[in-house]
């Protein structure tokens, strides 16, 4: 019984360690991760992307540029 509990605990810890990086999408009330933007002037925006600890810097920069491009064509 205790052995099974230990195996289950080890499996849960192993799965928790397999966190995935932040996908591209807006930050929401449920999750602070993702992009947000704020209109500063008529043709000027501030874009922020928050990634979790598994999100690489390169991915964050790519997502920022992608969101900026989306705002440009809106």
Q: What is the pLDDT of residue 19?
A: 77
Domain span including residue 63: 20-73
Given a cut of 80, whether residue 6 has pLDDT beyond it is no
In sequence order, what are the residues at sequence separation of 6 or more whose Cβ sits closer than 8 angstroms to the Cβ of residue 48? 35, 36, 37
Given a cut of 60, whether residue 5 has pLDDT beyond it is no
Q: What is the pLDDT of residue 33?
A: 96
Is 24 a domain residue? yes
Is 69 a domain residue? yes
Instruction: State how far the Cα of 51 lies from the Cα of 23, in Å rounded to an integer.
Output: 8
Is 11 a domain residue? no
Higher pLDDT, 12 or 68: 68
Domains identified in the chain, total number: 1
Is 37 a domain residue? yes
Percent of the chain with pLDDT over 90: 65
Is 4 a domain residue? no
Is 8 a domain residue? no
Is 52 a domain residue? yes
Average pLDDT over residues 22-47: 94
């Amino acid at each position: 019984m205790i052995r099974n509990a230990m195996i289950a605990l080890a499996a849960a810890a192993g799965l928790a360690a397999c966190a995935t990086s932040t996908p591209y999408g807006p930050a929401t009330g449920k999750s602070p991760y993702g992009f947000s933007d704020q209109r500063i002037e008529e043709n000027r925006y501030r874009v922020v992307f928050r990634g979790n600890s598994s999100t690489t810097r390169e991915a964050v920069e790519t997502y920022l540029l992608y969101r900026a491009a989306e705002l440009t064509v809106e």
